[in-house]
Amino acid sequence: MIYSHAMKAAPARRRLPVAALAVAVILALAAVVLGVWRPWVPVPSSTPVGAAAGEQEAVEIAPAPLLLPEHPTVLVFGDSWTYGSAATDPTLGYAYRLADLIDGATIVDGVRGSGYLKPGLDGPAFGERIATLDPALAPDLIVLQGSINDRAQGEAGYREAVTAAWDAMAAKYPEATIVILGPAPHELPVGAETARIDADLAELAAARSWWYISPIAQAWITDQNYLSVIDVEVGRKHPSTDGHRYLAEKLATALGELGDAPVTEAGESETTPEQ
């Protein structure tokens, strides 16, 4: 289910590309002055006894600052939260609202109940869905959201399915920047399997030097705001219309901070309906 939502005339909240560019220039100049010094790469304290000559310790490289054109096109791909479930109209979902907040356009592809391993109610699992995406979409940014729907599928084969899906998305849109948006808790406390999915996605994204946004680690949904974000009755623990607005604002802010923010780490701590 793919829908496009274009920007409106009203001015919208923007990221800070100038600040991000300044940070990138400063880091580049520092690298020239200091040779091989890279602040995001840990310096080994010593070489392990018996280590082979020339053996290098694995390092984690920080993602590049997120720089987008003036009116970006964003493909938001995910599950029922991306679909807009429980909003009074799906087009009031966070993925659609994001367009105005970034002064751009969003292409929304959300399938209820789907995950990396689990087929959805209206379509297959993420990998098969990615295979059918139109290569001509040419997004500037891809936000790949979710999903808690794999929590009942278990750990076996999960990372392999994620890796295959991400490889396919990157190959289909090689010019796009990909940001992974982890699962948001539909209930509190956060369940162990949801926390495991969040941790797996964070680790796999870091290995690729991709930005990872964790609604769990960043405490987007707490005991204090849970009932104002999540519709626990008619919406079956999906975001309400106001909840989708709130999530769109949180996502827009998080994207705006990716010019110089550190990689987010996964959080922790489940039960019901498909997302």
pLDDT digits over 32-77, tens only? 333 333 333 333 333 333 334 344 444 668 899 999 999 999 999 9
Task: Report pTM.
Answer: 0.74
Strand order through the sheet with 177-181: 2-5, 105-110, 73-78, 141-145, 177-181, 211-213
Average the pLDDT over 97-108 and give the result: 97
User: Residue 196 pLDDT more than 60?
Assistant: yes
User: Residue 269 pLDDT more than 50?
Assistant: no
Q: What is the pLDDT of residues 126-170, one digit of tens each?
A: 999 999 999 999 999 999 998 999 999 999 999 999 999 999 999
Q: How confident is the model at residue 19 (pLDDT cuts 50, 70, 90)?
A: very low
CATH classification (class only), 2-13+62-256? alpha beta
What percent of the chain shows pLDDT beyond 70? 72
Domain ranges of the chain: 2-13+62-256
